[in-house]
Each structure stands twice: as C-alpha cells, then as structure tokens.
Amino acid sequence: MWRWGPRHFPRETPRGCRRLASYPCSWGAPDPIHATLRRSDRYLQPSINISMRQTGGADFGVLVPVNIVRSMLLLGIAVAVAAIWIGALQPATGVVLVAREGSVVALIDGKALGPVALEQGGRSIPILPIDIEKDSDTFATHATLNHFYQRQTMLSAMSRAPGANLVVAGKKHPVQARRGILGNPFGFWLILIPGVLGIAVTAVVLAADPKNLANRLVALTGLMFPFVVAGSAIAITRDLAIDGELYRWLMFMHEISAVLFALIMAALFCVYPREIIPAKTVAIVTGLGVLFALTIAIGRVFEWVVPGGHGMAGTLVSLREISGGSQIEVTAVFVALCAALARQFQVTRGDPVARAALTWFGLSVVVGAGGFIILLTLPNLVGMRSVVDGSVGFPLLLLIYAGLTFGLLRYRLFEAKTWSFRVLYAVSATAALWLIDAALIYGFGLDQGPALGLSLILIGLVYQPVRAKLSTLFMRRTGLRKNEMFAAVMKVAFAAPAARSEQWRALLHRLFEPLEITPGDPATVGATIGEDGVALLVADPAGGTALRLAYPGQGSRLFTPDDRHIVQEISVLCRQAADALQSYERGAADERRRMAQDLHDDIGARLLSGILVAQGPVKSLLQDALRDIRTLVTGLIGETAPLSRVMADIRVETASRLEAVGMELDWPITVEAGAHSMPYHHSKAITSAIREAVSNTLRHAQARQMTIRISIEGDAGVVEIADDGRGIAPDKDRGNGLNGIASRLDGIGGSFRIDRPDVGTRLTLRWPLVARRQTPQTEMVSYGR
C-alpha cells in the first residue's frame, strides 16, 4: 500500500516560480509532473534504476522505468484482449434493430420492417424495446432491471443454440452463434482502444518519476481506465443479447472502476500542481469514497437475486436504489473536481508554467469528463434518453490523456491560453448544437432533419457573434497599437548609436512588461522562447547586447509564439528602417560632397584669385572667407579636422582681428594636438565660441591684452580666454553672445564657465574629444607670438 504524506512534497521553489518582490508567487509543493519532460527518456533506458525510499514499511523496491511501462501496457493489453475475446464469443444477427413507437423494427435496405422475433427449436420470442436498450442505467426500478437480465439470458441462450433465426416480417435471418473477432463492430473498437492508449500515457508519466505522488495518482487513473471501457464496449455494442450474469458482472466492473477513476482524478487536483488539501486528508476522504462506492456497487451484484429490504444483501440493494447508483456518485465527484481545479487556478497565479500545464490538463478533464457526464449521465438522471451512445461518449474520456500529454510533457504550454479558448469555443458550439437540436425534437416535436437544420441556423446567427465578442474580450492582448509600435520602432532606428540599445530595451519593456530584463546569450539570433515560455531571448537588431526577458505581463503569463513573431517582425522593421536611414545618409553625403566640390573648385578658386590681387583690409576679409569656405567644405564631406589645424586657423584669425585694433594676443600654449581630431560640428562650435568671445572683448571689455590657453585634460579639450579689461558686473545678465556660446557647447556635450578675477574676465570652454586618430603621433605645436 502506498503511503501518502508530506515527504512526497519537498518544499522547494517550483520551476518558473521565483520570489519576486514586485509579483509574489505561491509557494508550496514542487510540480512533480513537470519533471516528466526532463526525465521522459528514462523509460527508453532499461539500465536506469530508480530506488524508492522507505516510507514506513512501504517499500517499492527498485523500479526500472522500462519495466513500469511494460507492466502497465501488458495489463492494458490483457484487459483489451479479454474484452475482444468475450465480444467475439457473442452471437450476431447481422440485422440493425431500432425501437420505434413502442416496438422493435429492423432496418433492411433502408426500410423499417417488423415485427421482429427470435425463433429457435419451434419456440418464438418477440423482441421488445427493453431487449435492445444499450445502457442498463436507464432502468428506473429494480424490477425492470431484473426483467432485463432475465430476457438477456433467455435470448442469449436461444441465439447460441443451433437453428436460431431472427424473423423479420415473416422472413428468417440466420443467427451466428459467434460473431468472431472481426465481427466486433466499429463502436466496440472506438470504446476499447482509448483504454489502452490511456494506460500507455500514464505508464510513461509514472516511469518518468515513480516517487512523486501526483505521478502515482495519474497512473492509478490509467489503471482504472481499461476496466471502465472494457465492460461497456462489450455490453453497449452487443448485437442482440449477452448472458445476463455476464452483463451484471461487466457493469459491476464498469461501475466500481468508473467511480474509482473519478475519485482518484479529484484527489489528483487536490495535490497537483499545489497541495491545496493535506495529502493525509485527501487519502482519508478518497478511501471513504471508495468504500461507499464499493458498497453501492455490491448492491448491483445482489439486485438480480435479492429483493430490496431483505437482509444485509437486500439493504445494499435498497441503498443502491436510494443513492441512484454510480451516476450520481460520478457527477458529485466531478463537481468536487471542478472546485479543486478552480482553487488550483487561484494558487498558481504566481507560477505561469504551472498555470499553463494546469490549463491544458484541467481543460481536457473538464471537456472530456464533463462532456461524458452531460451526454450520457445527466440524461439518465433526469429521465431523458441520451442523444448519443457510449461509442461517442467514451472516446471523450481520451481527451483527458491527450491533455495530460500536452500538459505534463509541456508541449507548447505557452499557447495554453489560446488553445484553451479555441477548445472551449468548439466544445461550446457542439454542446449548444446538441441542446438546441434536442429541445426542438423533444420539446417542439420536430423531425430530426428540420431540427438539425434549424439548430445550425440558430448557431450561426447567435453563437458566432457571441463567440467573436468573447474572443475580443478574453484574448485581447495588452501592448502597443500598430501606430504606437511603428512610432516606437522608428524611434529605435533613428536614435543616436549610443542611445539605440536603450531605446530597444524600452520598446521591449512596453511590449511585454517583463519582470526581468537581463543580458542574454551573445550567440542569440532573432528571438527564442526558453524555459517553457518563462523567458524570451532577443538579439539586438542594432548589434548590441542580446537581452533575456522573463515573466511577461508582470509575471501573469508565459511568452507565446505570437510574442516571438512580434519581436521578429519589429527586428526586421528596425533593420529595414536602419538600412533606409543609411541609404538616405549615403545619398545626402553624396550630395554634400558634390556641393563641397563645387564650393572648393568654383568659389574657392575665385576667392584665391581675389586674394592674389587684393590689398589691405579687403585681402584680409577674402582670406577669412576662404578659411570659412575650407571649414564648410570639411563639414560637408564629413571629414574630421586635426585639432592642430583648427586651432591654427582660429589663432590666425584672432591675431588679425586684435592687431587691427591695437590689442595684444598672448597665445603661448603647447599641446599634443596631433593625436586628436575634431568632427565638423565640434570644430565649428569651438571656433564660433572663440570668435564670439573675441568679439565680446572687442565691444565691451576695453582691454589692452587677451590671453588664450589650449590644453588637453583626459578626454576633454579646454580653452581658457582671459582679458585685462573692466570685466562683467555680477548683477548683469548674460547677453545674446554669451548665451550663444553656452548653447553651442551644450550641443556638443561641452560646458561653459565665466570667472570674474580681480582684473578682467576669464571664460573657460570645455568639450569632449570624441574622435582619435588610429595611429596617434605626438606633434608639438606652439601657439604664440
């Protein structure tokens, strides 16, 4: 006997669930079934042993996973073979019998013929509607069920005897004593095969980790499943009759295994993926439920031979009649299962991986088991005939193990929300169609053909608009609208190179709202979903550091393939925008080079000719204009100018201006200027700032001497300009000239400071040296008189 206890739930953080200050998650038992994927290859390795711990005397010994799979498959196959063999031994008439208006007719060549009787040895027994009833649970009283058993025994014995014939409208149809294996109808296989598939899936789950309680409970449901379907496959698909004693035992096996299946499934959701009820409590309640179900099932054994109310056996029969049998038990357990499932959805709010697996598994259980109960169980409880038989209802239970395969093996868990809504929509549409069809047939008396057509019309007119509205409401994605996303992508593409990666990071945060954004694997290409949807690895389209995004939607969901596609699309859009920007810049650069060539060749040549013939102030002005043209040409073609040349040009200009007014210039600075270059916008800002400072001195300072110092301090260039004039009053605001200097320096990331010494004024200009030559060469340049 397996022991249930806390030791099956070591307290550790579940995969995909972390203690996050901004989004706390639920702590509790680990998700043992999620380990299936990581260990799912064990059953393929016969050499791997899993040693089970001692649990208070309950020793599982050493279990080899491949033996677990083999043993459970052999059990399922054995049950299936037994069912096939028993089915093959049953008689067959080869005629389809249906109940019509209180009598039985045979459908032959598209015609309904009757009456129908079974004849053998000169004895003829008419076939009644009770004889072809597929589900004995539809009988309301003990007496009716006994009558059904007796007639089944009698008809089965006559069908097996030599010379048995089914007489339809006076015409005899020989009855085969055995229908054979190939004579088992399609519905028989449709009911039986899911039992073998179910036990195979659960065998793999148990083999992956036999120590985990959740895996064991799943395996127990798989062990019950073949017994649930085997008896029903024989009884429901019988041709006319099987022995009443065999029928009774088949239904006993079906009933007790079905209740056990439901109880174990409900117990599973009490401990998976979180332990919402203590394991010992679940064990006790499940055990009491098994005892009660066994007591009720024993009532079926005695209900043929013992009348209700006589002795202990009769009391069990009476208890079964009062309780309603297994149908009410299974329905009640299903309600408890749904309550446990709802609670699990609450406690897994902080673990998106567990929530996704629970969505797959829970949805499959609700749809599979719920569909079975709605189609087969509830109609019997309310006294209505079911619109389908077990050949349709029992395969629905296979959906449970299909969901188990998706959920426990974590196949596309990140699409759980999308697929869950699609499945619910499909199931809801089918259920609505059946309900409307049944209401039109039984409530309004319409024939099946018109009722089906009208049902389809109503579904199209009412359900589809409702479905579209619900889809918009529940599957609406939070994030950016298309115009906002386009604007954000353009902002990334057109950002400065230094800020482009930061803009990309901000865009991803706006799109997915992850709790974590950390550097990712440098080898990341495009976008890749990792850690079962918890993380998304994204390459930077600008060539920066790859990023790892974790816990999207503030930790409330997983990444989906749609998220990956969005990232891939915006990455392509960013690259296309960047390529377009580069193409534009190349075109603009070509145009600037053409304009620069024209300035150099035409205007520059004309100014040079004028300088050669000009005299005095005109020649000086032409020389200044030629220097400006040379600066503009340098800026237009995007070249960097050596710091030494920029300082030399402005020094010559400054010296000429001061000499014209009789003012002295002291510029004795020696700087390692050859190792530094200046882009055009830097050189233009610095020369304009020095020029404006000189102009201010000439207009306002009334100075006799100006001193200029050039120096390199780390990665910054520094210019100090001082005069011996009357200075600037402390209470005087800056004029346009000084504000212009400050604005120019701010545009290149520099700074501007005014000092007021005892005599005159001192201005300090500082700017970053952003460009360097590949092969620095120290060139000592002296500026001075």
Instruction: Compute the 3-state secondary structure of the chain and give helix, strand, coil in percent, each to the nearest 5.
Output: 60, 15, 30
From the CB of residue 223, how many other CB atoms can be counted at a distance below 10 Å?
22
CA distances from 382 to 330, 378, 386, 583 (A): 15, 6, 10, 75
Share of the chain above pLDDT 70, in %: 76
Per the structure block, which two tokens stand in for 191?
Answer: 């009911």
Query: Given this model, what pLDDT does residue 119 score?
Result: 94
Report whether 706 contacts 661 (CB < 8 A): no
- Cα–Cα distance measured from residue 378 to residue 385, given in angstroms and rounded to the nearest whole number: 10
**Is residue 38 predicted with pLDDT exceeding 70?**
no
Higher pLDDT, 761 or 613: 761
pTM of the entire structure? 0.55
* H helix or E strand, kind and range, residue 670: strand 670-672
Find the mean pLDDT for residues 81-106: 91
- Cα–Cα distance measured from residue 226 to residue 195, given in angstroms and rounded to the nearest whole number: 4
Per the structure block, which two tokens stand in for 732?
Answer: 């005087």
Query: Given this model, what pLDDT does residue 118 score?
Result: 94
4-13, 282-291, 406-415: which range is least confident on average?
4-13
Higher pLDDT, 538 or 624: 538
Give domain limits for the chain: 6-86+184-411, 93-150+158-174, 417-476, 482-639, 652-782
Report whether 180 contacts 186 (CB < 8 A): no
**Is residue 146 predicted with pLDDT exceeding 50?**
yes
Q: Which residue has the tokens 């200046």?
A: 678
Under the banding of pLDDT at 50, 70 and 90, the label for residue 314 is low
- Cα–Cα distance measured from residue 326 to residue 306, given in angstroms and rounded to the nearest whole number: 19
Higher pLDDT, 500 or 639: 500
Under the banding of pLDDT at 50, 70 and 90, the label for residue 674 is low
215-229, 416-430, 757-771: which range is least confident on average?
416-430
Report whether 518 contacts 547 (CB < 8 A): yes
- Cα–Cα distance measured from residue 737 to residue 699, given in angstroms and rounded to the nearest whole number: 11
- Please name the CATH architecture into which domain 652-782 falls: 2-Layer Sandwich (3.30)
Find the mean pLDDT for residues 198-225: 85
Report whether 469 contacts 462 (CB < 8 A): no
Helices (H), ranges, 390-494: 390-408, 416-438, 448-458, 464-474, 482-493
Find the mean pLDDT for residues 700-724: 89
**Is residue 459 predicted with pLDDT exceeding 60?**
yes
Nearest residue to 763 via CA among 705, 665, 688, 693: 693
**Is residue 727 predicted with pLDDT exceeding 90?**
no
Query: Given this model, what pLDDT does residue 14 score?
Result: 39
Per the structure block, which two tokens stand in for 515?
Answer: 């709790």
**Is residue 767 predicted with pLDDT exceeding 60?**
yes
Query: Given this model, what pLDDT does residue 734 score?
Result: 65
- Please name the CATH architecture into which domain 6-86+184-411 falls: Up-down Bundle (1.20)
Residue-wise over 557-574: b if at least 16 C-beta within 10 A, else e? bbbbeebbebbeebbebb
Under the banding of pLDDT at 50, 70 and 90, the label for residue 732 is low
Find the mean pLDDT for residues 271-288: 88
Long-range contacts of 59-65 (CB under 8 A, 24+ apart): 60/210, 63/210, 65/207, 65/208, 65/210
pLDDT for 408-441, tens place per residue? Answer: 554 343 344 444 455 555 656 666 776 777 777 7
**Is residue 700 predicted with pLDDT exceeding 90?**
no
Per the structure block, which two tokens stand in for 229?
Answer: 């379907």
pLDDT for 468-527, tens place per residue? Answer: 666 655 554 545 677 777 777 787 877 776 677 788 888 888 888 888 888 888 777 778
- With vertex at residue 705, the alpha carbon angle to CA 701 and CA 708, rounded to the nearest 5 degrees, is 100
Contacts of 628 (CB under 8 A, 6+ apart): none
**Is residue 745 predicted with pLDDT exceeding 70?**
yes
**Is residue 223 predicted with pLDDT exceeding 90?**
yes
